[in-house]
Amino acid sequence: MLVDGVVLAGRYNTGRLQAGSGAKLEAMVEVQGRALVDYVITAMTGSGNVDNIFVVGPPGELAPVLRPGVFTVEPGGDVLTNLRRGLSQVRSAQVLVSTSDLPLLSPEAICDFLARCQEAPGADFYMPVISARDAQGAYPEMRRTYGRLREGRFTGGNIFLMKSRLPEAAWAKAEEFVKNRKHVLRLASLLGPTYVLKMLLCRPSIPQLESRVEELLGVKCRAVPTPYVELAVDCDKESDLRVVEAALRGCG
C-alpha cells in the first residue's frame, strides 16, 4: 500500500508545553534534540508506505524539518480546516493522517496499522484503538481517556487512514462534533438520547459504535485494534515529554 501523508502541525505553542520550550509551534518542541514533528515525518518516510508528505502549518516555522518529498501547506483557523487543506494537496485515493506530536511513532507501527486496514477493505475512515491493558502496561505514568466498550476499555490512536475525498455533509456533521466536543449535553444531543442511554446502561460493542458513527456522519468507519501503543503516545504536557524522553533513552 502506498499513500500520501498529511501531518497536522499548525497549533501554536501557547498551552502546557510553553513553559519548557520557546518553540513557536508545538510541533517544533524538541525531544532529545529533535522536533516532535520530525519523528513523525521520519517514521512515515521510513515505513516505505507513504509517498508525499504534506505538513499543515506555518512554512517558515517548519522549514528546519523539510526534506525531499515533504511539503508545507498554509494552515487555516481550526483543525478541520487544516485537515481539509492538507487533503486538497494529496493525489492518492487514501491518505495517512497524523498529529505532529507522536515522537515514539515507528515505521513498524505504521506498516502494521496499514496492513490491518487492508484486512477490512471498504471503509472511508480507519482509526487505531489500543486496549487500556496494553497502554497502561507500557506507559503507566501517562494519563489517557478510555472508552468502555463491550470488548474492554480502549483509547484512540493519533493517526488515521481515510479517503482523501469525503461527502460535504460528513464534514458539516464533523464540524458540529468538534465545535461541541467539550459540552457533554450538546454531544449527547448530537448522538441522540436513546443511544446515550444505551451507552450508559449497556456498553456498546465496537461494531455497534461503528454503525452509529456511520449513521451520524454518512461515512463508513472502522476501529482497528493494534498492539502498538506508541500510536497513542502524544505529547501535550511536560510530563508526557519526560515519559517520552525516558523511552527514547531506553531505545538508544
For 136-159, letters b (16+ CB in 10 Å) and e give: bebbeebebebbebeeebbbbbbb
Encode the chain (252 residues) as per-residue pLDDT tens digits.
Answer: 999 999 999 999 998 898 888 899 999 999 999 999 999 999 999 999 999 999 999 999 999 999 999 999 999 989 999 999 999 999 999 999 999 999 999 999 999 999 999 999 999 999 999 999 999 999 998 888 888 889 999 999 999 999 999 999 999 988 887 777 556 567 677 777 777 777 667 788 899 889 988 998 999 999 999 999 999 999 989 999 999 999 998 875
Report the C-alpha gap between 16 and 36 in whole angstroms.
15
What is the model's pLDDT at position 58?
A: 97
What is the model's pLDDT at position 197?
A: 73
Phi and psi at residue 149, in whole multiples of 5°? -120, 170
Phi and psi at residue 75, in whole multiples of 5°? -80, 165
The helix (H) or strand (E) run that includes residue 174 is helix 168-179
Helix, strand, coil percent content, the chain, rounded in steps of 5: 45, 20, 35
Residue at 171: amino acid letter: W
What is the model's pLDDT at position 183?
A: 65
Report the C-alpha gap between 223 and 206 in whole angstroms.
7
What DSSP string describes 24-60? SBGGG-EETTEEHHHHHHHHHHHHSSEEEEEEES-HH
What is the model's pLDDT at position 181?
A: 57
Q: Which domains does the chain have, with CATH numbers?
A: 3-129+157-165+222-251 (3.90.550.10)
The helix (H) or strand (E) run that includes residue 173 is helix 168-179
Report the C-alpha gap between 224 and 246 in whole angstroms.
28
What is the model's pLDDT at position 252?
A: 57
Query: pTM value?
Result: 0.92
